[in-house]
Amino acid sequence: MLEDILAGGASALGIRLPDGALRRYRQYLDALLSANEAFNLTAIEDEDRAARLHFLDALGLASRFDLSGKSVIDVGAGGGIPGLALKIAAPDMELTLLDAAAKKVDFLSRTAKALELSAHCVWGRAEELGREPAYRERYDAAVSRAVARLNALAELCMPFVRVGGHFLAMKAADSDQEMEEARPAIEKLGGRLADVREYTIPGTDILRRVAVIEKTAPTPERYPRRWAAIQKRAL
């Protein structure tokens, strides 16, 4: 059952969930699955699998990088993974959820409200908002899962991160080549691949990775480029 999977999984990852977290995860999962009937938010409809592959995956990130008390933007949040799932575990995080799909942003905004969690839900394209002073280099961390290959994703995410902050990309275990290929892009964007941290999603044998990218210098003004240019020629 969801509550047992999450309580056991969080403890296996070394995470202490705050009061009310299990109730919120239950409410969040119900909202995800029922909104999924109207539009596609997740391919995973089985409750136990969703608990593991969505919520425990997000907690895996939290187990490898402490985001509590930080300002965090989730780029391409979709149904809210990892951002909203992280916020349940660390309500003192200052969260922005960004997505290009209006319906998804509307879902995120309604769900955060129902969960009584504050989250700034923004409809827009990362490569456009990343050029705006209100968003550029404003965050302690950018997080992202399942949005693009790392070299392109870095161009979408790095502009949001303040110098000294981090971009945390959730990737599969077999991402060595993707990480190597992204190094030049990360450097051009003012960062360095500082670490790659791994975790196994509790209750599965799925090994996952977090690329920890440190922002060491401001991102040059010419980035991010338009999406067509990013896709056509990755940095």
Interface residues toward ligand SAM, by CB under 6 A: 76-79, 81, 98-101, 104, 125-127, 145-147, 156, 227
Min separation Cβ 133 and ligand SAM, Å: 18
CB 161 within 8 A of CB 131: no
Under 8 Å between Cβ of 82 and 93: no
Least distance from ligand SAM to the Cβ atom of residue 19, Å: 26
Largest CA distance in the chain: 49
The minimum distance between CB 129 and ligand SAM, in angstroms, equals 8
Helix or strand (DSSP H, E) at 171: strand 161-172
Q: How far is the CB of 227 from ligand SAM (least distance, A)?
A: 6
Q: Is the CB of 44 or the CB of 192 nearer to ligand SAM?
A: 44
User: Using alpha carbons only, what angle is made at residue 152 by residues 98 and 162, rounded to the nearest 5 degrees?
Assistant: 55
The residue (of 16 and 233) whose beta carbon lies closer to ligand SAM is 233
Looking at the Cβ atoms of 17 and 169, the one nearer to ligand SAM is: 169
Contacts of 159 (CB under 8 A, 6+ apart): 130, 131, 135, 136, 137, 189, 219, 223, 224
CB closest to ligand SAM, residue no = 78
Which residue's CB is nearer to ligand SAM, number 192 or number 204? 204
